[in-house]
């Protein structure tokens, strides 16, 4: 299998680390090698949070700019901030309004290097299900609907059931499925 | 039974420690090292081991405690961040000469970037300075293996060994297979030998000679320390360019050369750089016309390479001398070197134009800030209000972010909030100027290195107000307990040592405690403290601003929640943003005034006291 590089971005408190864990654990569950790079410490206090996930036989944990196959952004501006990571032909999934994303200034570049952009108001989905902290799961569910990368919807779902704390399992799966529905439409 | 698990790099290090039979682990938290000890605790609990663990009060204390354990024949380790090793440097220099009996490993984590440190210093240089061996892992799995090798070396040569993982090892995650951890039953014993354990200068000279002989021998070992030190030269072949790399940059270089399928560029991996494997380096250099040296963050390997004509590195300007060597930086500098040597370049990159594009978008700058509800925000507001003309000396911790509120003017190192305050005092008093000074320091930082400075300040009759920001945890590094809480590293009860008693022990006579959420009371108390510092019979005044951290204590930290709104009385004067900087207060462009982001608001209600127009009210 070819190596796959993910960049996950958002703000402190949005659950970037948990979303990364779900993808990483799913990959490990099917016998793939992974490396993750995380943001801790001072940078985590309200700042932009980014984590990198590399699936396959790689050595370094950081994704090189220009080499991410998939960018998952939990906030619109954090999606734009991380555009330089995207490889030619990469995919961008963002928590953003369906119609206005991406903003027009970035469109020519994204078109030039063949980036497919998909967005969903993931926060709204999470809020509607009374789980405002679960934007990450809504976006992950949305992403899983496009069968992009090495991890399937079923595999992610199994991991969510496996690693969620008991009291959040049901709602986590519900938000994830709602995101998936949004992507399947 | 073996199991597979995704480990944080610091967890891989913890695993390596326990697999090596380490019986004593001490630490003081500091990014990026903080998770090592908690991971040790997690593993010893799950495997039922009897390993002794402690959060020590500072890195020197951690060092000495582990060192003594090693002198008694046990395997022991101390873990810290790179600037923590500065605090323990006195011990390190001496311990190198004396040596150990049991294995003694120092884990000192570096922070190229820097992401969460005062400096980008290179622990490998510290190892050279102290004359001890150092290993520099390129991945979590390698860090785990190196810890075991470090213990073996330390025991065989009776010398402390440093392992220095950089942040990209500490905060990486990798899937590891593990299981079958066992207790090490090595018993403590101490054979008196003052000539060694309490060596006077005459004996030190002899010990220095012994250390030099040990290093020579270990250096020979490092010539063939596969898989940490090796090259992939083909016998008899000559190359226009070779790359010499160690630590995290080695992994990046390997990935790039493999992605680009560049078998024409040989690599010398040097993850055990000191004592320097001279022969290995010579062999590599002789087969290459030029050698690009990629190491983080200083010039340890490059310094030792003798054939300067061949070396491309920091001295020649080929490698940046500051900042993290992230993959795109290494990619760019390899490409530039290839171009300079008129060799085939790497495949084109293309992301540079994206960097320019993003710059032009004027995205919001998200600087780190104190959390909504943080008691430090209240303290800084009260301090600035009560003593607007003061110099605000501060310290290392979350509260360094008080800089955003105009409440922090200096930040040097752990404990300098106090020592710089006394220094400023005497400097101005020397000119007969009465300069108000308010120092701030966190509870954990105070226990770490506050008392010596405070004692000195009292003894030498300095005059300033010291506010100890007591949020009852070590917040910045992930909520480790402090002596003030009396909870130990493994969760068991220790003895509680209240700040008040320590402060009194330093000779301070003015000690008052206040809850900073009560802004009025705190402002009043600071004014009272200011009078005390000006009184000829007064002295240093200490205020303990005590309120639990809202992240560590959650609901408990805010017992009376208040829903906050901003009324039409807001005139957009910016006062609340400049002086209070709460993330929950934002400027709403539609309303043309400040508003409350209810999803962020912690409902602490402190802001009810701050608006000059009274526009912030309870709903």
- Please tell me whether residues B385 and B323 are part of one structural domain: no
The three-point CA angle B332-B334-B335 to 5° equals 65
Closest residue on chain B to A106 (Cα):
B357
Specify if B363 maps to a domain. no
Chain B residues within an 8 Å CB radius of A44: 368
H or E element: which one contains B513? strand B510-514
What pLDDT is stored for residue A39 in this prediction? Answer: 77
Q: Do B227 and B115 contact (CB within 8 A), yes or no?
A: no
Specify if B294 maps to a domain. yes
Say whether B599 and A43 touch across the interface (CB within 8 A).
Answer: no
- Please tell me whether residues B352 and B392 are part of one structural domain: no
Whose CA is closest to B138, among B318, B4, B270?
B270
Q: What span, in angstroms and rounded, lies between the C-alpha atoms of B77 and B51?
A: 11
What pLDDT is stored for residue A44 in this prediction? Answer: 53
Superfamily, domain A4-184: Pyruvate-ferredoxin oxidoreductase, PFOR, domain III (3.40.920.10)
By Cβ distance, the residue of B139, B349, B599 closest to A132 is: B599
Whose CA is closest to A8, among A57, A50, A42?
A50
Residues B228-235 have a mean pLDDT of: 96
Whose CA is closest to A99, among A120, A84, A81, A128?
A120
Say whether A38 and B349 touch across the interface (CB within 8 A).
Answer: no
- Please tell me whether residues B208 and B326 are part of one structural domain: no
Say whether B350 and A88 touch across the interface (CB within 8 A).
Answer: yes
Tell me the pairing of strands A48-55 and A34-37: antiparallel
Residues B207-215 have a mean pLDDT of: 97
Specify if B365 maps to a domain. no
Long-range CB pairs of B608-613 (<8 Å, 24+ gap) are B608/B562, B608/B564, B609/B519, B609/B520, B610/B381, B610/B519, B610/B575, B610/B576, B610/B579, B610/B580, B611/B566, B611/B570, B611/B575, B611/B576, B612/B573, B612/B575, B613/B569, B613/B570, B613/B571, B613/B573
Find residue B124's DSSP bridge partners.
none
What pLDDT is stored for residue A45 in this prediction? Answer: 55
Whose CA is closest to B225, among B104, B168, B312, B142?
B142
SS (H, E, C) B53-66: EEECCCHHHHHHHH
Say whether A84 and B351 touch across the interface (CB within 8 A).
Answer: yes
| pLDDT tens figures, B2-60 | 899 999 999 999 999 999 999 999 999 999 999 999 999 999 999 999 999 999 999 99
Specify if B369 maps to a domain. no
Closest residue on chain B to A27 (Cα):
B175
Number of domains in chain B: 4
By Cβ distance, the residue of A35, A45, A84 closest to B172 is: A35
Specify if B368 maps to a domain. no
DSSP B309: G
| pLDDT tens figures, B119-173 | 999 999 999 999 999 999 999 999 999 999 999 999 999 999 999 999 999 999 9
- Please tell me whether residues B239 and B167 are part of one structural domain: no
By Cβ distance, the residue of B31, B327, B363 closest to A60 is: B327
Tell me the pairing of strands B410-411 and B391-394: parallel
Q: Which CATH number belongs to the domain containing residue B598 in this structure?
A: 3.30.70.20
Specify if B326 maps to a domain. yes
| pLDDT tens figures, B435-489 | 999 999 999 999 999 999 999 999 999 999 999 999 999 998 989 999 999 999 9
* Residue at which a domain ends, from B296, B325, B358: B358
Chain A residues within an 8 Å CB radius of B368: 42-47
Cis-peptide into B114, omega within 30 deg: yes
- Please tell me whether residues B540 and B591 are part of one structural domain: no
Specify if B570 maps to a domain. yes
Tell me the pairing of strands B3-8 and A116-120: unpaired
B241 SS3 class: strand
What pLDDT is stored for residue B600 in this prediction? Answer: 85
Say whether A11 and B366 touch across the interface (CB within 8 A).
Answer: yes
- Please tell me whether residues B443 and B306 are part of one structural domain: no
Q: Which CATH number belongs to the domain containing residue B405 in this structure?
A: 3.40.50.970
How far lies B402's CA from each of B406, B477, B541, in Å?
Answer: 7, 17, 21
Chain B residues within an 8 Å CB radius of A132: 599
Specify if B366 maps to a domain. no
Residues B260-284 have a mean pLDDT of: 97
DSSP string, A33-47: -EEEE---GGGGSSS
Per-residue pLDDT of chain A (185 residues; tens, 9 = 90+): 689 999 999 988 888 999 999 999 999 999 999 999 997 655 555 678 899 999 999 999 999 999 999 999 999 999 999 999 999 999 999 999 988 999 999 999 999 999 999 999 999 999 999 998 899 999 999 999 999 989 999 999 999 999 999 999 999 999 999 999 999 98
Q: Do B272 and B136 contact (CB within 8 A), yes or no?
A: yes
Say whether B31 and A45 touch across the interface (CB within 8 A).
Answer: no
pLDDT class of B366 with cuts at 50, 70, 90: confident
What pLDDT is stored for residue B367 in this prediction? Answer: 81
- Please tell me whether residues B429 and B541 are part of one structural domain: yes
Q: What span, in angstroms and rounded, lies between the C-alpha atoms of A26 and A161?
A: 11
A156 SS3 class: helix
Say whether B172 and A38 touch across the interface (CB within 8 A).
Answer: yes
Residues B551-561 have a mean pLDDT of: 92
pTM value is 0.96
What pLDDT is stored for residue B347 in this prediction? Answer: 87
- Please tell me whether residues B573 and B428 are part of one structural domain: no
pLDDT class of B276 with cuts at 50, 70, 90: very high
- Please tell me whether residues B176 and B204 are part of one structural domain: yes
What pLDDT is stored for residue A42 in this prediction? Answer: 54
What pLDDT is stored for residue B242 in this prediction? Answer: 98
Q: Do A41 and B116 contact (CB within 8 A), yes or no?
A: yes
What pLDDT is stored for residue B365 in this prediction? Answer: 84
By Cβ distance, the residue of A36, A59, A109 closest to B255 is: A59
Range of the domain at B443: 375-557
- Please tell me whether residues B255 and B167 are part of one structural domain: no
- How far is C-alpha B139 from the chain's CA centre? 19
How far lies B539's CA from each of B399, B421, B508, B511, in Å?
Answer: 25, 13, 8, 11
- Please tell me whether residues B206 and B310 are part of one structural domain: no
A64-73, B340-349, B403-412, B573-582: the lowest-pLDDT one: B340-349
DSSP string, B76-139: EEEEEEHHHHHHTHHHHHHHHHH--SS-EEEEEEB-SS-SSSS----HHHHHHHHT--EE--SS
- Please tell me whether residues B108 and B160 are part of one structural domain: yes
More confident: A133 or B609: B609
How far lies B470's CA from each of A23, B68, B417, B441, B476, in Å?
Answer: 39, 32, 15, 9, 13
Q: How many residue pairs from chains A and B have C-beta atoms closer than 8 A?
A: 142
Say whether B173 and A24 touch across the interface (CB within 8 A).
Answer: yes
The CA distance from A9 to the nearest CA of chain B, in Å, is 13
What pLDDT is stored for residue A103 in this prediction? Answer: 94
DSSP string, B597-610: -TTT-----GGGGT
């Amino acid at each position: 299998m070819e190596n796959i590089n993910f960049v996950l971005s958002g703000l402190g408190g949005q659950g970037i680390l948990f979303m990364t864990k779900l993808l990483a654990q799913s990959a490990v569950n099917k016998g793939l090698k992974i490396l993750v790079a995380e943001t801790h410490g001072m940078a985590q206090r309200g700042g932009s949070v980014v984590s990198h996930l590399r699936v396959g036989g790689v050595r370094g944990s950081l994704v090189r700019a220009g080499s991410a196959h998939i960018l998952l952004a939990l906030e619109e501006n954090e999606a734009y901030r991380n555009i330089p990571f995207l490889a030619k032909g990469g995919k961008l999934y963002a928590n953003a309004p369906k119609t206005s994303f991406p903003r027009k200034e970035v469109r020519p570049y994204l078109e030039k290097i063949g980036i497919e952009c998909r967005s969903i108001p993931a926060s709204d989905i999470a809020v509607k299900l009374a789980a405002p902290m679960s934007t990450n799961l809504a976006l992950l569910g949305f992403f899983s609907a496009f069968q992009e990368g090495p991890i399937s919807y079923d595999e992610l779902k199994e991991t969510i059931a496996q690693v969620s704390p008991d009291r959040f399992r049901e709602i986590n799966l519900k938000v994830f499925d709602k995101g998936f529905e949004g992507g399947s439409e | 039974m073996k199991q597979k698990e995704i480990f944080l790099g610091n967890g891989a290090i913890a695993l390596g420690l326990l697999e090596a039979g380490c019986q004593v682990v001490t630490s003081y938290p500091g990014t990026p090292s903080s998770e090592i000890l908690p991971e040790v605790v997690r593993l010893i609990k799950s495997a039922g081991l009897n390993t002794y663990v402690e959060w020590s009060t500072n890195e020197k204390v951690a060092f000495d405690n582990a060192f003594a354990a090693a002198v008694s024949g046990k395997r022991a380790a101390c873990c810290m961040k790179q600037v923590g090793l500065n605090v323990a440097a006195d011990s390190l220099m001496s311990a190198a000469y004396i040596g150990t009996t049991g294995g003694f490993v120092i884990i000192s984590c570096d922070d190229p970037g820097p992401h969460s440190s005062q400096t980008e210093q290179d622990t490998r240089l510290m190892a050279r300075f102290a004359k001890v061996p150092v290993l520099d892992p390129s991945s979590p799995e390698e860090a785990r293996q190196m810890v075991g090798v470090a213990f073996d070396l330390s025991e065989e040569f009776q010398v402390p060994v440093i392992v220095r993982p950089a942040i990209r090892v500490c905060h990486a995650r990798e899937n590891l297979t593990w299981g079958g951890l066992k207790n090490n039953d090595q018993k403590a014993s101490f054979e008196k030998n003052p000539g060694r354990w309490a060596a006077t200068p005459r004996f030190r000279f002899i010990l220095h000679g012994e250390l030099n002989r040990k290093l020579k021998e270990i250096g020979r070992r490092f010539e063939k320390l596969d898989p940490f030190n090796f090259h992939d030269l083909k016998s008899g072949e000559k190359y226009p360019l070779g790359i010499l790399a160690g630590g995290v940059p080695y992994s990046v270089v390997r990935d790039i050369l493999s992605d680009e399928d560049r078998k024409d560029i040989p690599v010398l991996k040097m993850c055990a750089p000191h004592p320097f494997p001279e022969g290995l380096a010579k062999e590599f250099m002789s087969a290459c016309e030029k050698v690009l040296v990629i190491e983080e963050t200083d010039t340890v390997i490059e310094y030792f390479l003798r054939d300067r004509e061949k070396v491309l590195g920091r001295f020649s300007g080929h490698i940046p001398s500051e900042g993290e060597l992230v993959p795109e930086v290494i990619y760019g500098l390899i490409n530039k070197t290839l171009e300079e040597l008129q060799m085939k370049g790497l495949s084109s990159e293309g992301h540079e134009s994206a960097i320019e594009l993003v710059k032009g978008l004027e995205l919001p700058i998200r600087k780190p800030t104190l959390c909504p509800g943080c008691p430090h925000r209240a303290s800084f507001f009260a301090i600035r209000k009560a003593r607007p003309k003061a110099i605000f000396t501060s310290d290392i911790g979350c509260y360094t972010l008080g800089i955003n509120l105009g409440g922090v003017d200096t930040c040097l190192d752990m404990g300098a909030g106090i020592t710089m305050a006394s220094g400023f005092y005497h400097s101005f008093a020397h000119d007969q100027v009465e300069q108000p000074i308010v120092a701030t320091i966190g509870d954990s930082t105070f226990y770490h290195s506050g008392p010596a400075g405070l004692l000195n300040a009292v003894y030498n009759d300095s005059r300033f107000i010291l506010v100890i920001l007591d949020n009852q945890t070590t917040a910045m590094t992930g909520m480790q307990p402090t002596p003030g809480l009396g909870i130990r590293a493994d969760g068991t009860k220790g003895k509680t040592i209240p700040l008040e008693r320590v402060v009194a022990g330093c000779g301070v006579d003015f000690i008052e405690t206040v809850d900073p959420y009560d802004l009025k009371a705190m402002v009043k108390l600071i004014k009272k403290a200011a009078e005390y510092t000006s009184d000829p019979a007064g002295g240093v005044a200490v205020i303990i601003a005590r309120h639990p951290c809202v992240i560590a204590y959650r609901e408990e930290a805010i017992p009376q929640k208040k829903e906050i709104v901003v009324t039409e009385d807001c005139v957009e004067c910016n006062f609340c943003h400049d002086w209070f900087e709460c993330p929950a207060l934002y400027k709403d462009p539609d309303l043309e005034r400040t508003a409350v982001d209810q999803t962020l608001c912690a409902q602490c209600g402190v802001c009810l006291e701050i608006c000059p127009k009274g526009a912030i009210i309870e709903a």
